[in-house]
Amino acid sequence: MASMGYFNVDNGFLEAVVRGFRSGILSASDYANLQQCDTVDDMKLQLQGTDYGNFLQGEPSPLSTNTLALKCTEKLVAEFEHLRVQAVEPLATFMDYVTYGYMIDNLMLIITGALHDRDTNELMAKCHPLGLFEGLSAASIPNTAKDLYEMVLVETPIGPYFTDVLSLWKQPQVGERQPGVEDLDELNIEIIRNSLYKAYLEDFYEFVTTKCGMETAEVMGGILSLEADRRSINITVNSFETELSKDDKCKLYPSIGQLHPEGTARLALCADVDAVRAALDPYQDYRNVLAESGVGEEKSVENAFFELEVQLNKDAFEQQFHFGLFWAYVKLREQEVRNIVWIAECISQDQRSQITQYVNIF
């Protein structure tokens, strides 16, 4: 109760701002208008009538989908920075936590790129601007996980999560160090990604449940649980044809979420999509996620999760006095950018039949 009384002292203004931003999120009628456009330039005109305003002014025609995506994301980042610089503790830390996820993604992008000998500067341009950190570009140099940690990550906020990653390899082989095991190959990168995420989600969960008050814990708990469950399911589905053992999988499943521990234990045993479906059957929320899609239709599984996520994030706006709004806002805007880009791609590639497959928000 105390948090309700004092919430507005520190965070009332930012909550108001974020709610104002929220009303700028494109509505169903905006999307309907966007779909009517014949070219991406028409979309620009259409978007001028929304909160996006003149963000594309000064861009020469014809407009590419990439510029559109870039500019939309820039706007999101500008808004996020605007909120972040005014935030006070613990909201400031909370918002930092929001960026850690992007940092992990960026890091993985760089490492994977380096593995395939891509140009690092090119990769840097593709990184999400929310997840940039000092030394990120240097992440392409090290060849082993340990080097990566010691050279680049030890100072960064996601450094502590990496210790968990390192322990993955250390425990099975006490003492002797086998050459090659820690090398950054494709499988290891996936393992690193997933265990980083696991550590991140668990840490974030810990943070929201202990330091941000009851309301935040309630809202963010739900959101993070979904995030964790999504990762568990993805890990399972993606690991069918790999040499990942059951124990290894168990180590990658986040220890939060609805599926933990019982569901994850079942998931670990699955060897094909049908088994996963069976394992998820007791969970009402996820029952339909896989049921609709055939095997291999990645896109719709993803979309189904996006829809669940959007729903949760929308619900976050129904409550007050919590930080979940800030997370929800970023995620909804991100979804909106994905939608805009999807529509733009469909228009520019003349795939109008697919155009409706975006996730409606409001």
Partner 1 sequence: MGTIFRSEKMQLVQMIVQNDAAHAVVEAFGEEGIIEFRDLNHGQPFHKRAFTDEVKRCEDVQRKLAALKHALEADGVAIAEAAKESMSAAELAGVLAEKEEELNHMQMQELMLKKNHNALLEQRHVLELGAGIYAAQAPGSSMSAGGAELEITDFASSTATSMLSYIAGVMPRLSMASFQRVIFRATRGNAAVYSKAIDETLHSYDLKSGETEAVEKDFFMIFVAGDVLKSKISKIATYFDGTLYAYPDMAADKAAMKREVLKRLGESSEILRTTAQMKTAMLTDVGAHFASWNFTICKDKMIYDTFNKFDYDVRRKVFVADAWVPESKVYDVYKTLSAATAKAGVETRPVLNLIETKATPPTHLPVDKMVYGFQALVNTYGTPRYREVNAGAFAVILFPFLFGIMFGDLGHGTLLMLFGLSMIRNEASFEGKKLDDLVEMCYGGRYVIFLNGCFGMYVGLIYNEAFACPMSIWGSGYDRDKETIIHPPIFGVEPAWHHATNKISFFNSFKMKISIIVGVLQMTFGIFLSLLNHLEYRNYKKVVFQFLPELGFFGSIFGYLIFLIFYKWSVPWVELGKPAPSLLTTLINMFMSPGAVALPENAELLLFQGQADVEAVLILVALVCVPLLLFPIPFLESCEHEAALKKKLAYKALEGGSAHEEAAVHEEGEHEFSFGDAFVHQAIHTIEFVLGSISNTASYLRLWALSLAHSQLSELFWEKLLVEGALEPKGSSAANMIGCWVAVIMWIVISFMVLMVMENLSSFLHALRLQWVEFQGKFYSGDGIRFVAFDFKTIGEESSE
Question: Which residues of this protein are in contact with partner 1, per CB under 8 A?
Answer: 33, 36-38, 41-42, 45-46, 57-58, 60-61, 120, 134-135, 137-138, 140-141, 147, 150-152, 154-155
272, two tokens: 């094909």
**Distance separating alpha carbons of residues 351 and 263, to the nearest angstrom:** 39
How would you class 357 by CB atoms within 10 Å of its CB: exposed for 0-12, middle for 13-18, buried for 19 or more? middle
Please name the amino acid found at residue 129.
P
Q: Which residues pair with 149 in a beta bridge?
A: none
Of 106 and 335, nearer to partner 1 (C-beta) is 106
Which DSSP string corresponds to 166-195? HHHHHTTS-SPPPTTTTB--HHHHHHHHHH
Least distance to partner 1, CB of residue 59, Å: 8
CA within 13 Å, CB half, 62:
8
Question: In the block, which residue shows the tokens 């290891």?
Answer: 188
* Residue 356: Cβ within 10 Å count: 12
Least distance to partner 1, CB of residue 86, Å: 24
Least distance to partner 1, CB of residue 334, Å: 24
Least distance to partner 1, CB of residue 70, Å: 12
Of 147 and 307, nearer to partner 1 (C-beta) is 147
The dihedrals phi and psi of 274, each to the nearest 5 degrees, come to -60, -40
Please name the amino acid found at residue 256.
I
170, two tokens: 């250390």
Q: Nearest Cα to 130, choosing from 148, 154, 157?
A: 157
Of 40 and 199, nearer to partner 1 (C-beta) is 40
Of 287 and 352, nearer to partner 1 (C-beta) is 352
Of 38 and 241, nearer to partner 1 (C-beta) is 38
Of 37 and 265, nearer to partner 1 (C-beta) is 37
Of 110 and 325, nearer to partner 1 (C-beta) is 110
Of 154 and 278, nearer to partner 1 (C-beta) is 154
Cis peptide before 62 (omega within 30 of 0): yes
Least distance to partner 1, CB of residue 136, Å: 9
Least distance to partner 1, CB of residue 165, Å: 17
Least distance to partner 1, CB of residue 298, Å: 33
321, two tokens: 């006095």
Least distance to partner 1, CB of residue 141, Å: 6
Q: Please check whether residue 26 is in contact with residue 358, taking contact to mean a CB–CB distance below 8 angstroms.
A: no
Of 112 and 311, nearer to partner 1 (C-beta) is 112
Least distance to partner 1, CB of residue 115, Å: 16
Of 119 and 281, nearer to partner 1 (C-beta) is 119
**Distance separating alpha carbons of residues 83 and 326, to the nearest angstrom:** 9
**Distance separating alpha carbons of residues 254 and 206, to the nearest angstrom:** 12
**Distance separating alpha carbons of residues 249 and 71, to the nearest angstrom:** 38
253, two tokens: 């499943």
- Alpha-carbon distances of 139 from 79, 131, 245, rounded to whole Å: 28, 14, 28
Least distance to partner 1, CB of residue 325, Å: 33
**Distance separating alpha carbons of residues 30 and 224, to the nearest angstrom:** 29
